[in-house]
Every structure is written in structure tokens, then in C-alpha cells.
Amino acid sequence: MTAGAKRGSLEEERVQTWRIAEGNHRARAVFLDRDGTLIQEVGYLSRLDDVHIYPWTAEAIRKLNQAGLLAIVVTNQGGVGKGFYTEELVEQVHEKIARELAEQGARLDAFCYCPHHPEASLPAYRVECRCRKPAPGMVEEAVKRFKIDLSSSYIVGDTGRDMQLGFNTGLRTILVRTGYGAGEYESQRHVWPRSPDWIAENLLEGVEKILAERARHVPASGQNLLAPDNL
Ligand SMILES: [Mg+2]
Ligand SMILES: [Zn+2]
């Protein structure tokens, strides 16, 4: 293939992407917290042996795959900045999760993580970043990469921080009672600015609620939703 032909095909690809966006056929996604949502919450996860995927996770992800919803992991890993484990370990953990789910026919479309912490012991990570949940950076990156329509997308997580990320970016919010979920709901919900849209026993029940709603109608945007441009 000549250089000219190559440029031509790239040009076509760009036009195609633009057409999809213009036609309002944007992707829908379910953003997924990692610890306490996909896998057991074990505090700072610093050993591969401590990765324990919940028994219902593969089925939940398979259902999202079959329904054509992107499954995107968004996880704060401030333990990197605190020097408890390395980014290499985080990536190994993600490879392990992806591999074990793939063996059960389930596909995660992307893993996004924030290694920063405002009080990190390692100076390189000691920043007030835009990616640490509930800041919107990881969701914004995914929107750019996958052309996601946030108003018909969701977040599932086990903490108020996950719900706040959803409030900040206009996602529908589902709190799971696994991990910190049940405890945060009991002790923290009085200080949350809004209630989550749904409470679910676990990820599978949350996914079933999402798919049932989608079967009934295209979800309308809730009230008080902020467009990402306004954040
Ligand atoms: Mg969590
Ligand atoms: Zn960050």
C-alpha cells in the first residue's frame, strides 16, 4: 500500500467516526468501580493472590456485552501514590481480572485507573488530579475514546464517591450493597447530595435493572444533570 492510499483510508475512517457522532448514534456505557463492585474489597490490593472476582461478575459483564453496552472500569488506586504497590501491579491485576472473565466469556472494554493521591508519599503522584473519583477525568477520557452518550450511560459502584462521579457527569447511578456499599448507605447517605437512582444487592442485580429499564424505554436524563462541558 502506498503512503497516499494509507492516508486516504485514514481519512475515510475519520469521516466515518464523525458521521456516527453526528447521527447521534453514540455509544452507551456502564462505568464500573473495581474494588467492592467487580471484585472483593480487600483494602489496598497489593498482591495478585488477593484478587477475588465475585461469583456473579462474569454473568453480569456477559449481559452487558450481549446488550451492546460498553463495560468500562474506573478505579482510584491511590495506593500507587502512597507507595503501597506499583502501577505495574495495578496493570497485572487488571490483566488477571480480564483473563479470568474472558475464560467465562465476559469482556471488559477498558480499564481506567487513577494512581494519584493529594497526600501521596511519592512526589510524582502527589497532585490534585482531574482523574481521581469523584473528579470526572476518567469518564471524560472514555467519552473521547469511545464517543459515549453520558445521558444514556450508567455507573455502578459501592461508595458515595462513585455516586458523586455519576452526579458530576450526568450518569445514572447504581449503588451496590457489596464492598462498602451497605455500610456507606447506612452511615453516609444523609450527607449525599442526592440518592442513587437505584440500590442493588450486587453487580448482577444492578445490571439486570439497567437492562430492564432499557427494555422498557430509552432512559431519559434525570434532573440536575450537568453536561461534561459545564463541570
Ligand atoms: Mg469500590
Ligand atoms: Zn489521578
The Å distance, Cα 178 to ligand 2 centre, comes to 24
pLDDT at residue 221 greater than cutoff 80:
no
The Å distance, Cα 38 to ligand 1 centre, comes to 9
- Tens of pLDDT, residue by residue over 90-135, are 999 999 999 999 999 999 999 999 999 999 999 999 999 999 999 9
Q: Determine the number of helices (DSSP H) and then strands (DSSP E) in the chain.
A: 7, 6
**Which ligand approaches the C-alpha of residue 78 most closely?**
2
What does the pLDDT read at residue 107? 97
**Backbone φ and ψ of 179, nearest 5°:** 60, -130
pLDDT at residue 16 greater than cutoff 70:
no
- Tens of pLDDT, residue by residue over 173-190, are 999 999 999 999 999 999
What does the pLDDT read at residue 9? 46
What does the pLDDT read at residue 217? 61
Q: 34: closest CA among 165, 203, 196?
A: 203
Look up 162 and say whether it is catalytic: no
The Å distance, Cα 130 to ligand 2 centre, comes to 6
* DSSP string of 99-165, one letter each residue: HHHHTTT----EEEEE---TT-SSGGG-S--SSSTTSSHHHHHHHHHHTB-GGG-EEEESSHHHHHH
Single out the catalytic residue among 35, 109, 162, 197.
Answer: 35
Residue 100: count other Cβ atoms within 10 Å of its Cβ.
15
Element (H, E) at 200: strand 198-200
**pTM of the predicted model, to two decimals?**
0.84
Sorted by where each begins, the domain ranges of the chain are 27-218
| Residue 32 pLDDT grade (very low, low, confident, very high; cuts 50, 70, 90) | very high
Look up 35 and say whether it is catalytic: yes
27-218: CATH number: 3.40.50.1000
